[in-house]
């Protein structure tokens, strides 16, 4: 059945919305570029094995899979649903970046600073505020093992948010190695780290008692759980200094990054947060997230993933990435009324008696000095027509004559 709505969870964008989106995209792209990042683009579709086989975590359950075609479909094994699809829509930009880098390494600089801005797709259960197609704006630095990469990436994201008029946001910083030390020094096995990290990630939702309960339900020993919470409380009190002895390399890393960013003396803050976990399994050390105001979610997040490229290309290449949650940023900017166009937009109104060629020439001429000049034939009721034009975002109009006098709408 034909339907005029976009599919469930998908969206169309009206001119006003699209203008806001394009404005935000442009600002982000320009700021990323200023800092020496260069943009690449990867395919929307990936071979299905690349998507299902890797480090995608929960996202691998949310793939939009593309049906095989022609003979391949006819020959597929219909008892095995897995064999029906050969392609899938990308669910993030990191997996494609790693594939791209592995494929093009010889063409790319030794330290590759990449921008990726594009739509990703996840077959989430439909619910309010969850989109099945959304835009991500990523930067990644591949090939730099030093934490200059973290500094650059954090500074670039902070500059970008400032350019978009965000102030007083907070950058939360942690290191997976610190988390791991906390867990192992409490007596847990290193193999249990991922499971425990998933539970620790819920700290701000379920609190210490909740964490305790969930760990106990998983069958971990009370002594270990208590020890973990004692360590955690110590960090809560002492901050970063509290980890210095248990995890010196994590301590040094976080301290160095924080010292540089703090010394920029800017109007945002950076804090160590030992409860920060970040979902993806591929992060190896530094992880970060940006929070803003009282929002219950991060507006940007990322971390270092030094082992992911090695898994594919056989050679470990260090990498660190940061992603801006584009949809959230756009929604915030629109709600705070911070995307308003100042472009002059003029309607050139002519009547049937006017020679069309002359009118078109006049429009071309006017466009040399005015952002937008659009032609409209005079309607019977000029007043009504002008109201429609104003509603459509025109800032003024010209009634075609030999003198092209612009009359601006009152604001």
Q: Is the separation of the CB atoms in 104 and 41 below 8 Å?
A: no
Site for a second copy in 64-83 (CB under 8 A): 64-67, 69, 73, 78, 81
Taking the least distance from each CB to a second copy, the nearer of 11 and 408 is 11
Stretch that binds a second copy, among 119-127, 172-180, 319-327, 329-337 (CB under 8 A): 119-127
C-alpha count within 13 angstroms, C-beta hemisphere, residue 68: 16
Interatomic CA distance for residues 306 and 310, integer angstroms = 8
Among 170, 327, 367, 404, binds a second copy (CB under 8 A): 367
Q: Sign (positive/negative) of CA torsion 248, 253, 254, 258?
A: positive
Query: H or E segment at 378?
Result: none
Site string for a second copy, 291-330 (x = CB under 8 A): ---------------------xx-----------------
Site for a second copy in 222-241 (CB under 8 A): none
291: left (phi over 0), alpha (psi -120 to 50) or beta: beta
Note whether 111 binds a second copy by CB under 8 A: yes
Interatomic CA distance for residues 401 and 214, integer angstroms = 77
Note whether 382 binds a second copy by CB under 8 A: no
Residues paired with residue 98 on neighbouring β-strands, in sequence order: none
Q: Is the separation of the CB atoms in 214 and 222 below 8 Å?
A: no
Site for a second copy in 3-32 (CB under 8 A): 3-7, 10-15, 18-19, 21-22, 29
Note whether 267 binds a second copy by CB under 8 A: no
Among 23, 27, 57, 148, binds a second copy (CB under 8 A): 148
Q: How far is the CB of 139 from a second copy (least distance, A)?
A: 12
Note whether 411 binds a second copy by CB under 8 A: no
Taking the least distance from each CB to a second copy, the nearer of 148 and 406 is 148
Q: Sign (positive/negative) of CA torsion 100, 101, 107, 109?
A: positive
Distances (CA, A) of 391 to 28, 338, 344, 367, 409: 29, 19, 14, 21, 11
Among 23, 27, 35, 406, binds a second copy (CB under 8 A): 35
Note whether 351 binds a second copy by CB under 8 A: no
Among 345, 386, 395, 400, binds a second copy (CB under 8 A): 345
- Total residues contacting a second copy (rule CB under 8 A)? 100
Interatomic CA distance for residues 269 and 119, integer angstroms = 30
Stretch that binds a second copy, among 37-45, 247-255, 290-298, 402-410 (CB under 8 A): 37-45
CA 272 to chain centre: 22
Q: How far is the CB of 13 from a second copy (least distance, A)?
A: 4
Stretch that binds a second copy, among 150-158, 200-208, 326-334, 397-405 (CB under 8 A): 150-158
Taking the least distance from each CB to a second copy, the nearer of 103 and 401 is 103
Query: Sheet containing 319-325: which strands, arranged edge to edge?
Result: 38-39, 112-121, 133-142, 319-325, 300-304, 286-291, 170-175, 269-272
Interatomic CA distance for residues 292 and 166, integer angstroms = 8
Residues paired with residue 38 on neighbouring β-strands, in sequence order: 114
């Amino acid at each position: 059945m034909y339907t005029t709505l976009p599919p469930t969870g998908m969206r169309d964008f009206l001119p006003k919305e699209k203008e806001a989106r394009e404005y935000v995209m442009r600002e982000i792209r320009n700021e990323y570029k200023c800092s020496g990042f260069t943009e690449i683009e990867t395919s929307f579709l990936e071979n299905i094995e690349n998507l299902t086989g890797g480090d995608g975590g929960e996202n691998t359950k949310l793939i939009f899979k593309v049906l095989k075609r022609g003979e391949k479909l006819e020959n597929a094994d219909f008892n095995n649903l897995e064999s029906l699809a050969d392609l899938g829509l990308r669910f993030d930009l990191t997996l494609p970046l790693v594939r791209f880098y592995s494929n093009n390494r010889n063409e790319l600089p030794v330290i590759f600073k990449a921008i990726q801005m594009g739509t990703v797709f996840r077959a989430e259960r439909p619910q309010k505020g969850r989109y099945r197609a959304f835009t991500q704006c990523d930067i990644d630095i591949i090939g730099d093992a030093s934490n200059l990469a973290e500094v650059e990436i954090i500074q670039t994201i902070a500059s970008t948010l400032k350019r978009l008029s965000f102030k007083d946001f907070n950058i939360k910083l942690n290191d997976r190695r610190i988390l791991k030390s906390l867990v192992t020094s409490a007596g847990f096995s290193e193999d249990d780290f991922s499971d425990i990290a998933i539970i620790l990630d819920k700290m701000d939702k379920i609190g210490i008692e909740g964490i305790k309960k969930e760990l106990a339900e998983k069958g971990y020993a009370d002594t270990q759980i208590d020890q973990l919470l004692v360590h955690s409380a110590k960090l809560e009190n002492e901050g970063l200094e509290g980890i210095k002895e248990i995890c010196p390399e994590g301590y040094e890393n976080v301290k160095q990054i924080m010292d540089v960013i703090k010394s920029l003396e800017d109007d945002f803050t950076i804090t160590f947060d030992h409860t920060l976990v970040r979902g993806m399994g591929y992060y190896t050390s530094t992880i970060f997230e940006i929070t803003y105001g009282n929002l219950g979610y991060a507006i940007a997040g990322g971390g270092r993933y030094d082992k992911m490229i090695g898994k594919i290309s056989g050679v470990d290449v260090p990498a660190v990435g940061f992603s801006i949650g584009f949809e959230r940023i756009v929604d915030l900017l629109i709600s705070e009324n911070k995307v308003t166009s100042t472009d002059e937009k003029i309607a050139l109104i002519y009547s049937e008696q006017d020679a069309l060629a002359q009118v078109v020439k006049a429009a071309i001429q006017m466009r040399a000095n005015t952002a937008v000049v659009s032609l409209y034939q005079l309607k019977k009721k000029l007043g009504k027509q002008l109201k429609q034009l104003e509603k459509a975002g025109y800032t003024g109009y010209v009634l075609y004559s030999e003198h092209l006098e612009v009359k601006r709408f009152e604001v």
